[in-house]
Chain A
Amino acid sequence: MTDIVMNSSPRPTDHNQDRAAKASDAVKRGLKKRYAAERRFKAYGITAIAIAMGFIAILFGTIISNGLPAFSETVIKLEIDVSEEIIDPTKERDPAVIRAANYRKLVFDDFRALFPDVTARRDKRDLTKILSSGATFEIQRLVTEDPGLIGKTIILEVPVAADFDLYNKGVISRDVGEDDRRLKDKQLDWFDALVEKGMIETRFNTTFFTHADSRDPELSGILGAAAGTFFTMLVTLMLSFPIAVAAAVYLEEFAPKNKLTQIIEVNINNLAAVPSIVFGLLGLAMFISFFGLPRSAPLVGGMVLALMTMPTIIIASRAALKAVPPSIREAALGLGASKMQVVGQHVLPLAMPGILTGTIIGMAQALGETAPLLMIGMVAFIVDVPGSITDPATVLPVQVFLWADSPERAFVARTSAAIMVLLGFLVFMNALAVLLRKKFERRW
């Protein structure tokens, strides 16, 4: 503007056109650069997303490719002659005698008989290492349950030791020098001989789903951890759902707007962002050392996780309650319902899908949580399947942690398989939440 005013030229329009042409030239010259910048910037965004997606793909790829082998197991079919001389020389069928018999000898003798030319003491020991220690327990279980088997020949299908399982699946190969692997060439030869005889089979790994933890990879499973998870989640759900919904209802529907309710609100928001390990410290100091509740128990684990998930559920429930339009409340109040009746009979049922979605998401968080449970002693090595909320137990994520720390190579596959099971549960829960939201959510 000022330019024009100060311009004393007799043909201002011409001059302006000139300037405009110059400016548009400048713009045109810059355009190429600017468009290139535009494309570059867009490419950065796409790259960022591609990187994130790449991470997801690598993560899942590694877990699945590591974990798939654990879903099959290598078993050996052994023909075992349950000789009365070894099991019950007294022939009185005294259960105590039967239980204490030397089943090891029984299994080992029959197994060694397959390789008559192995005579050296050391070779014999190496040979029996093909068998899992579970073979002895399995036959002991069978015979003590049914003493009628004594004197008969039974066919036993038992897992082979974990290293041979890996060899059979091709994870351990002969290409590696003998000194660099745990199996000797001789052992591999014997194993190949067994394969040729058709005694080795690969089948779906039922052990993994029917056993609790064990020091022997081939005998370890997730049943114990799954049961522990079930009990822990049960306690968490029973505590956090009612309390969180009640708190949300009070804060959203009844609470007067004053300092106190404001403090509660700020508190809940901050509690949702407190690191989970701090909740573990709370559980250790309060529940275990102050109240003297049992260590390692799903009861305490559930209580800690309940405190942790409560803020999530409260926040989701409040959002769901807020979404119910005031007209519903007004209509009910107009018909003479009390405030409590309005909430209990109209608002809460309408908000329920949203509340349940929030609860499932909160429970999914709790299901994957590990750190606070380490604090309250749920990391113990537990071989029994827990039967109640006060038994020592561990949960799936902690089982993953324990196995990931084990030095045996066979546990890598087990760990990945346990992760796949855990992720399976999480996917199921999240899908349920999405379904619930899609099916029942109402837009007013």
Chain B
Amino acid sequence: MSFYLVLIALIGLTVTGYYLGRSRAIKSVDGNARILHSRPHYYGYFVALWCGLPAILVLAVWTTMQTPIVESIIQSSLPASVTSDDPAQLSLIMNDIRNLASGNITSGEITSDLRETADRFNSLVAIGDLARFGVILSIAIAAIAFFRSRITPSFRARNRVERILLVLLIISSTIAVLTTVGIVMSLVFESLRFFEKVSPAEFLFGLEWSPQTALRADQVGSSGAFGAIPLFAGTLLISFLAMCIAGPVGLLSAIYMAEYAPTKVRNTVKPLLEILAGIPTVVYGFFAALTVAPLMRDTGLDLGLVISSESALAAGIVMGIMIIPFVSSLSDDVINAVPQSLREGSYGLGATKSETIKRVILPAALPGIVGAFMLAISRAIGETMIVVMAAGLGANLTANPFEAVTTVTVQIVTLLVGDQEFDSAKTLAAFALGLVLFCVTLCLNIIALTVVNKYREQYD
């Protein structure tokens, strides 16, 4: 009784519910639908919604809960000699049981006990699946029977259906809030667990970052230093380099397009620039690692400079290319929002176009441009793939763009990719970094959006 079978059966029942409800309504007035309070299909929707929604909710809960419950049953049935040992051993055995049950290879040799437990696991899952099928279908059928019996000619089906739909709409609109709550909760809880092991002051102000935790007590390099300053510095350095490219190029092209370019040029250049925003970041990362970084290194060699092949410069330049369209399209909007009267006033006084732009339009548009730059910086700070592929891994506290630095996002990825124990300081550190990243970008965004909105209101 697989999940899909239950789902298909449920969909079938829901459709049946629709027709049963509709036919019942029509029958209750002997085919004269005009006597009914609502049009007949609303009676159908009413039954179908009540048949499908509760059942699908139960199905979702059941499906997520079944495996944990089965596992806890199996775990409690294991002999005490296994469960009393350390938790790592237990999780290994549970893994073996799971793998054996699904026909995969196991870590050790298959004992008859293990085989028996795996069979029991499978039979429990089978029983669970069968019970799920039975329970879901009976809920659906019971709902059809009950709500169909409530249909009378004066039953206000349309209002009921509309109320259900409205509730669904409200639930959907809260998902966005729930996502934020989920992000904040998962980041905060894991970070709190991290701060139990490492003090927040050490994390935020420490100068050394080497997240290796020791497996043995006497291991070399087991210090496990979690000072994030080098990461913040690296992130800022790369973002700064990126803004050095994206700022002037984006702003100047926005000015040209808004003030000088004939419509034809504007209509071709603008979409072309927006192509840059649509390219996946992994492509930029590949470009940075394969083309730009070696080019920088070789140019450096020719000039007698030592440029690391994972230099901050390469990552920064490519990231700058990536955020050009953010700067240019936001600045373009902002410049276009400056009222025409300001321009005309300036021309009337005999100013040239560039003087008007420099002395009238840019000062007027400044708040909006600052907002655009802040959004671009927040984008650069949160960017991951370019730096993962082109920047370094070693935490290096330097302001030299020719050296390799690492960033917050690079460290999050390196700490979390691969199988990790979920409660080591190393893994949890990633969530603490994520929390910092989230807070910083959120602040930048909120400030930028407020600035831009204030600015828009000013000229509306």
Contacts and interface: CB of A to CB of B under 8 A. Distances in A.
B202 to A, nearest CB: 22
Contacts of A412: 290
A269 interface: yes
A209 interface: no
Interface in A252-295: 254-255, 263-264, 267-271, 273-279, 281-282, 284-286, 289-293
Contact of A311 (B176, B287, B434): B176
B170 A250 contact: yes
Interface string B333-377: 000000000000000001011110110000000000000000100
A356 interface: no
Interface string B303-338: 000000000000000000100100010000000000
A397 interface: yes
A277 B256 contact: no
Interface string A425-441: 01000100000000000
Contact of A371 (B250, B321, B378, B409): B409
A275 B437 contact: yes
Interface string B375-417: 1001101111100110000000000000000000100110011
Contact of A246 (B168, B279, B352, B438): B168
Given A45-B260, A401-B385, A423-B283, A274 B275 contact: no
Contacts of B434: 277-278, 281
A423 B284 CA distance: 12
A78 interface: no
B438 A278 contact: yes
A161 to B, nearest CB: 23
Interface stretch (A51-59, A109-117, A137-145): A51-59
Contacts of B53: none
Interface stretch (B109-117, B182-190, B204-212): B182-190
B183 A274 contact: yes
Interface stretch (B19-27, B83-91, B215-223, B440-448): B440-448
A368 B248 CA distance: 27
Contacts of A219: none
A271 B280 contact: no
A273 B290 contact: no
Nearest to B352: A38
Interface in A410-432: 412, 415-416, 419, 422-423, 426, 430
A338 interface: yes
Interface stretch (B128-136, B158-166, B225-233): B158-166
Contacts of A55: 276, 321, 324
A254 B382 contact: no
Q: Would you call the interface of chain B mostly helix, strand, loop, or mixed?
A: helix
Residue of A55, A307, A400 with most chain B CB atoms under a 10 A cut-off: A55
Nearest to A422: B280
A263 B286 contact: no
Contacts of B383: 275
A310 interface: yes
Contacts of A250: 166, 169-170, 172-173
Interface in A314-334: 314
A404 B285 CA distance: 9
B172 A274 contact: no
B319 to A, nearest CB: 12
Contacts of B389: 401, 404-405
Nearest to B67: A292
Contacts of B82: none
A268 B176 contact: yes
A56 B385 CA distance: 19
Contacts of B375: 273
B51 interface: no
B69 to A, nearest CB: 11
A246 B382 contact: no
A371 B413 contact: yes
B430 A281 contact: yes
A275 B172 contact: no
Contacts of B250: 48
B413 to A, nearest CB: 6
Nearest to B280: A368
A400 B282 contact: yes
Given A38-B354, A45-B260, A281 B412 contact: yes
A212 B294 CA distance: 30
Contact of B290 (A340, A397, A404): A404
A34 B256 contact: no
B432 to A, nearest CB: 11
B269 interface: yes
Given A41-B357, A56-B276, A267 B176 contact: yes
B363 to A, nearest CB: 16
Contacts of A289: 422
A4 interface: no
Contacts of A47: 252
Contacts of A235: none
A63 interface: yes
Contacts of B248: 48
Contacts of A44: 252, 256
Residue of B168, B280, B389 with most chain A CB atoms under a 10 A cut-off: B280
B11 to A, nearest CB: 14
The 8 A-B pairs of least Cβ separation, nearest first, read A275-B382, A45-B256, A368-B280, A285-B186, A246-B172, A48-B252, A41-B354, A371-B384
10 contacts: A45-B253, A47-B252, A48-B251, A56-B276, A264-B174, A271-B179, A273-B375, A277-B409, A340-B162, A397-B280
Given A59-B283, A275-B409, A368-B280, 14 more contacts: A42-B260, A42-B353, A44-B256, A45-B253, A48-B256, A55-B276, A247-B175, A276-B384, A277-B382, A277-B413, A375-B413, A404-B389, A419-B283, A419-B286
Interface of B: 64, 67-68, 158, 162, 165-166, 168-170, 172-177, 179-180, 182-183, 186-187, 189-190, 248-253, 255-257, 260, 269, 272-273, 275-276, 278-287, 289-291, 321, 324, 328, 350, 352-355, 357-358, 375, 378-379, 381-385, 388-389, 409, 412-413, 416-417, 422, 430-431, 434, 437-438, 441-442, 445-446, 449
